[in-house]
Amino acid sequence: MKKILFVISIFFFIFYADLSAQRWKKVRYEVLGGIGVSGYLGDLGGADGPGRPFISDLDLSGTRFAGNIGMRYRWTDRVSFKWNLISGMINGSDVYSDSRRSARNLSFRSLIVESSIQVEYSIQKEKTGRRYNLLTTGKLRWEGINTYLFTGVGGFYFNPQGKYIDNKWYNLQPLATEGQGLPGAKEDKPYSKIAACFPLGIGFKYGLSRKLNFGIEMGYRFTTTDFLDDVSDSYYDNEAIRNANGANGDIAAYLADPRDMDKAPSGQKWRGNPKSRDGYLFILFNVSMKLRVARNGLPRF
């Protein structure tokens, strides 16, 4: 009899452990939304000298607000797929820089609208249950923090604008500030305002309750464009830009070359660094809600 009870106990232990391990399959879907900040890494502002890639050139004074919505699908207990729609404003200005770039006097702002598909891998698996819920226990259990890395691919829209002396913002792409499409220019047509991006980052998530989670996500975007800030290579003939833009000639000429000639290095030809692509980043604070799976395998709202 004792042997039978022992076998039954082992059976129920294995069954319960398996049931607990598979519990995540009942809440595979999550909807999420949040707010945060966006930052820009490119040719304008930032650290000393010519533009440098990645965080070494980040100017914190140029960060702006961002927001996102999305949906997550948990494929396995460690791997998830996520769709994100993020919008934020990025900003860069040589005024913020104490480097030799300040004499260049260029600045811009641009709205970013990004849609991406990401894959997440959990280093620290997500744990559920009353003991890991902040609202239930009233305290944070560090072992309950889901830590994950993510990468993916997406596309985004951008539209760089510059401020003229009349204090108004003008779209820069139509003004061909580096002579795009004009004779002898390095670019034979205007750049596209749609480009691809490749997110890479890390996230943290913790349960507020059985359904609600709070998370922080930090991700950099590598892009396929060097014109996020409308700056890429060298100066083009300013009078040719003025003549090519008709009624907007004075605006185009100024936004193409607003240098302080008393401070600018003699013979300076570079306007940007064509050897590196521009990039941007988001730091987002999210709240997500788990959705139960219906019999057809789809989320039940």
Among candidate residues 4, 7, 65, 35, the one with its CA nearest the CA of residue 284: 35
Percent of the chain residues topping a pLDDT of 90? 56
For the segment 196-207, the average pLDDT, to the nearest whole number, is: 95
Task: Please tell me the predicted confidence (pLDDT) of residue 24.
Answer: 65
Task: Please tell me the predicted confidence (pLDDT) of residue 108.
Answer: 95
The whole model's pTM is what? 0.84
Task: Please tell me the predicted confidence (pLDDT) of residue 8.
Answer: 39
Range in 111-115, 173-177, 265-269 the model is least confident about: 265-269
For the segment 72-92, the average pLDDT, to the nearest whole number, is: 95
For the segment 91-113, the average pLDDT, to the nearest whole number, is: 84
3-state secondary structure the chain: CHHHHHHHHHHHHHHHHHHHHHHHHHHCEEEEEEEEEEEEECCCCCCCCCCCCHHHHCCHHHCEEEEEEEEEEECCCCEEEEEEEEEEEEEEEHHHCCCHHHHCCCEEEEEEEEEEEEEEEEEECCCCCHHHCHHHHCCCCHHHCEEEEEEEEEEEEECCEEECCCCCEEECHHHCCCCCCCCCCCCCCCCCCEEEEEEEEEEEEEECCCCEEEEEEEEEEEECCCCCCCCCCECCCHHHHHHHCHHHHHHHHHHHCCCCCCCCCCCCCECCCCCCCCEEEEEEEEEEEEEEECCCCCEEC
pLDDT higher than threshold 80 for residue 295: no
Domains of the chain: residue spans and CATH: 28-300 (2.40.160.20)
Mean pLDDT of the chain: 83
Reported confidence tier of residue 109, pLDDT bands at 50, 70, 90: very high
Task: Please tell me which residue, 2 or 148, carries the higher pLDDT value.
Answer: 148
Cα(168)–Cα(250) distance, integer angstroms: 14
Percent of the chain residues topping a pLDDT of 70? 74
Task: Please tell me the predicted confidence (pLDDT) of residue 4.
Answer: 44
Reported confidence tier of residue 64, pLDDT bands at 50, 70, 90: confident
Among candidate residues 215, 194, 65, the one with its CA nearest the CA of residue 134: 215
Task: Please tell me the predicted confidence (pLDDT) of residue 25.
Answer: 76
Give the tens place of pLDDT for each residue, 6-29.
Answer: 433 443 333 333 434 466 677 789
pLDDT higher than threshold 80 for residue 51: no
